[in-house]
């Protein structure tokens, strides 16, 4: 895909403001490339702001919502959904967890987090991709100020002084509708996922690294109830998480590439035997459900989250290790923060695509995300080894977490999203 864009911040002078309706190019305030959970959250958070919003998504709505993935959904993400008015729609379809058990290999000291540590009724949720995305899509379909261009891919962006022009390749054969081939917007939001063609074409660099580990996700049905307990078990090969969901559990199993490949190559029966050894006997016999998937794991942070007329959100801006289930939650927080920044700018009569406005979003979220990226990286490196000085440090850490309440509350607040500046939607 060629993104015809004025790279490295030099605006294309030929683009001037086009009054609405002139020619056949539709004009919007905000164009969001990518209608995944993060892009759709930005759109929903802008409802009622008086702004015209276009969302361009490459996949048909039904296909996008069908993804089988499930996520740890933080208390903060729950509050943001409440702020969006979507809580009642999703609440009954989420699993709540009321305890988290954190352990280091076979070391007997286990840290148990409880709602009483935070003074809340629960510690977090597990949400299926389809539940979150369907609720967001429904809200977008009901909002007259949101135009949903789908399935259609953004193929290029030309950044002008006052507008960005977005080139679109509609897939009319799938939608049956005649979608525009370009549009203009004061601000383009790149919510186009980890590979983000928009970020790359805009010349925004990234830093980070691939981990030596891959991640396998699978679903199992245990014989006995999970009792709403989530587990994070640190093994020498990598973290192993169990997330409760209805009468099933989702497994997020991180292991060095070679081990992950060997696990992926096993047939279901052999895989289940390995899984049962990791999982332990606490829920009885396990039945493997559906297919398992293997992902590579990386840490990535964009050098900037904006340039004139462009803002990055979600995986387009950052990727993190799956330990602690933070990735999507950071993206939902970005979405709420960007929408708030835009709305404040509108109230102050500012240009929402200007660098002055977008830098406020960049400062707010980029530094906040560094904290979590760094924390997950340290956790993975500290625990995924058998180097005895590091083993001593982490066991001392577990000892301290169990016994020093402020430390326990601090780490719990960090992982549930309740530290730092909260978006207004979550307050
Ligand atoms: C194994 C694993 C486990 C994870 N577990 C958790 C967890 O427990 N909790 C958690 O919070 N996070 C988790 N994550 C991270 C989470 O999956 C991601 O952070 C999240 O899906 C990113 O959402 P997004 O909307 O930014 O990007 P995406 O979901 O990738 O959405 C991007 C969208 O943009 C569209 N698109 C792309 N290019 C274009 C284009 N040119 N034009 C139009 N549309 C385009 C795509 O079709 C897609 O719909 C996990 C990740 C992995 C790999």
Reported as a single tens digit per residue, the pLDDT across 41-64 is 999 999 999 999 999 999 988 888
> Do 354 and 415 reside in the same domain of the chain?
yes
Domain extent, residue 168, equals: 1-94+129-215+300-427
Q: Rounded to the nearest whole angstrom, what is the distance from the C-alpha of residue 193 to the centroid of ligand 1? A: 5
> Do 316 and 347 reside in the same domain of the chain?
yes
| Per-residue pLDDT at 186 exceeds 80 | yes
Beta bridge partners of 299: 209
CATH number at residue 262: 3.30.9.10
Instruction: Check residues 344 and 13 and name the one with the higher pLDDT.
Output: 344
Domain edge (last residue) among 299, 327, 344: 299
Domain edge (last residue) among 299, 325, 358: 299
> Do 160 and 262 reside in the same domain of the chain?
no
> Do 261 and 321 reside in the same domain of the chain?
no
Q: Rounded to the nearest whole angstrom, what is the distance from the C-alpha of residue 86 to the centroid of ligand 1? A: 20
> Do 170 and 87 reside in the same domain of the chain?
yes
pLDDT at 99: 97
> Do 224 and 313 reside in the same domain of the chain?
no
Mean pLDDT value across residues 58-76: 91
Q: Rounded to the nearest whole angstrom, what is the distance from the C-alpha of residue 192 to the centroid of ligand 1? A: 8
- 176 pLDDT band, cuts 50/70/90, is low
29 C-beta closer than 6 A to ligand 1? no
| Per-residue pLDDT at 18 exceeds 80 | no
- 88 pLDDT band, cuts 50/70/90, is very high
322 C-beta closer than 6 A to ligand 1? yes
Residue the block writes with tokens 């209608």: 35
38 C-beta closer than 6 A to ligand 1? yes
What digits encode the pLDDT tens for the residues 318-341?
A: 999 999 999 999 999 999 999 999
217 C-beta closer than 6 A to ligand 1? yes
> Do 201 and 253 reside in the same domain of the chain?
no
* Mean predicted lDDT score pLDDT of the chain: 92
pLDDT at 8: 31
39 C-beta closer than 6 A to ligand 1? yes
Q: How many domains does the chain fold into?
A: 2
Mean pLDDT value across residues 300-311: 98
What digits encode the pLDDT tens for the residues 121-132?
A: 999 999 999 999
pLDDT at 4: 44
Among protein residues, the one with the nearest Cα to ligand 1's atom 30 is 193
pLDDT at 17: 39
If DSSP states are collapsed to H, E and C, what string results for the chain? Answer: CCCCCCHHHCCECCCCCCCCCCCCCCEEEEEEECCCHHHHHHHHHCCCCCCCEEEECCCCHHHHHCCCCEEEECHHHHHHHHHCCCHHHHHCCCEEECEEEEEECCCCCCEEECHHHHCCCCCEEEEEHHHHHHHHHHHHHCCCCEEEECCEEEEEEEEECCCEEEEEEECHHHHCCCCCCEEEEEEEEECCCCCCHHHHHCCCCEEEEEEEEEEEEEEEEECCCCCCEEEEEEECCEEEEEEEECCEEEEEEEEEHHHHHHHHHCCHHHHHHHHHHHHCCCCCCEEEEEEEEEEEEEEEEECCCEECCEEECHHHCEECCCCCCCHHHHHHHHHHHHHHHHHHHHHCCCCCCCHHHHHHHHHHHHHHHHHHHHHHHHHHHHHCCCCHHHHHHHHHHHHHHHHCHHHHHHHHHHHHCCCCCCCHHHC
CATH number at residue 397: 3.50.50.60
56 C-beta closer than 6 A to ligand 1? yes
What digits encode the pLDDT tens for the residues 247-256?
A: 999 999 999 9
- 19 pLDDT band, cuts 50/70/90, is very low
> Do 171 and 278 reside in the same domain of the chain?
no
> Do 268 and 400 reside in the same domain of the chain?
no
Distance, in Å, from the CA atom of 316 to the CA atom of 301, rounded to the nearest integer, reads 9
The burial class, CB within 10 Å (0-12 / 13-18 / 19+), for 387 is exposed
Percent of the chain with pLDDT over 70: 93
> Do 165 and 182 reside in the same domain of the chain?
yes
| Per-residue pLDDT at 166 exceeds 60 | yes
Among protein residues, the one with the nearest Cα to ligand 1's atom 53 is 295
Domain edge (last residue) among 245, 268, 299: 299
> Do 281 and 307 reside in the same domain of the chain?
no
pLDDT at 219: 97
pLDDT at 62: 84
pLDDT at 292: 94
> Do 150 and 112 reside in the same domain of the chain?
no
315 C-beta closer than 6 A to ligand 1? yes
Cα–chain center distance at 133? 12
């Amino acid at each position: 895909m060629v993104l015809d864009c004025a790279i490295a911040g030099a605006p294309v002078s030929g683009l001037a403001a086009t009054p609405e309706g002139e020619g056949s190019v539709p004009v919007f305030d905000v164009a969001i490339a990518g209608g995944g959970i993060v892009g759709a959250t930005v759109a929903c958070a802008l409802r009622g702001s008086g702004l015209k919003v276009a969302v361009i998504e490459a996949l048909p709505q039904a296909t996008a919502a069908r993804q089988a993935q499930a996520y740890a959904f933080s208390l903060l993400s729950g509050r943001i959904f409440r702020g969006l008015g979507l809580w009642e729609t999703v609440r009954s379809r989420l699993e709540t967890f009321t305890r988290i058990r954190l352990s280091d290999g076979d070391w007997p000291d286990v840290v148990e987090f409880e709602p009483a540590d935070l003074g809340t009724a629960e510690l977090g949720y597990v949400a299926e991709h389809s539940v979150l995305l369907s609720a967001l899509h429904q809200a977008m379909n009901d909002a007259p100020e949101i135009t949903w261009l789908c399935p259609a891919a953004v193929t290029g962006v030309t950044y002008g002084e006052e507008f960005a022009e977005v080139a679109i390749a509609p897939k009319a054969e799938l939608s049956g509708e005649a979608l525009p081939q370009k549009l203009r917007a004061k601000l383009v939001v790149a919510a186009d996922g980890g590979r983000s063609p928009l970020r790359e074409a805009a010349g925004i660099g990234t830093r980070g690294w691939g981990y030596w580990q891959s991640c396998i996700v699978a679903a199992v049905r245990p014989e006995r109830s999970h009792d709403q307990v989530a587990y994070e078990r640190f093994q020498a090969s990598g973290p192993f998480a169990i997330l409760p969901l209805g009468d099933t559990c989702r497994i997020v199993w991180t292991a060095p590439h070679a081990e992950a490949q060997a696990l992926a190559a096993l047939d279901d029966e052999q895989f289940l035997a390995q899984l049962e050894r990791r999982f332990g006997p606490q829920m009885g016999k396990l039945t493997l459900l559906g297919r398992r998937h293997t992902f590579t794991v990386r840490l990535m942070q964009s050098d900037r989250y904006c340039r004139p007329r462009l803002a990055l959100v979600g995986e387009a801006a950052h990727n993190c290790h799956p330990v602690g289930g933070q990735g999507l939650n950071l993206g939902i927080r970005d979405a709420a923060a960007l929408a708030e920044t835009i709305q404040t700018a509108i109230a102050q009569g500012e240009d929402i695509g200007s660098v002055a406005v977008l830098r406020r979003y960049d400062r707010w979220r980029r530094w906040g995300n560094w904290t979590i990226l760094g924390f997950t990286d340290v956790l993975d490196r500290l625990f995924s080894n058998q180097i005895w000085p590091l083993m001593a440090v982490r066991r001392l850490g577990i000892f301290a977490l169990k016994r020093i309440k402020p430390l326990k509350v601090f780490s719990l607040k960090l992982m549930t999203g309740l530290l730092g500046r909260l978006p207004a939607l979550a307050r």
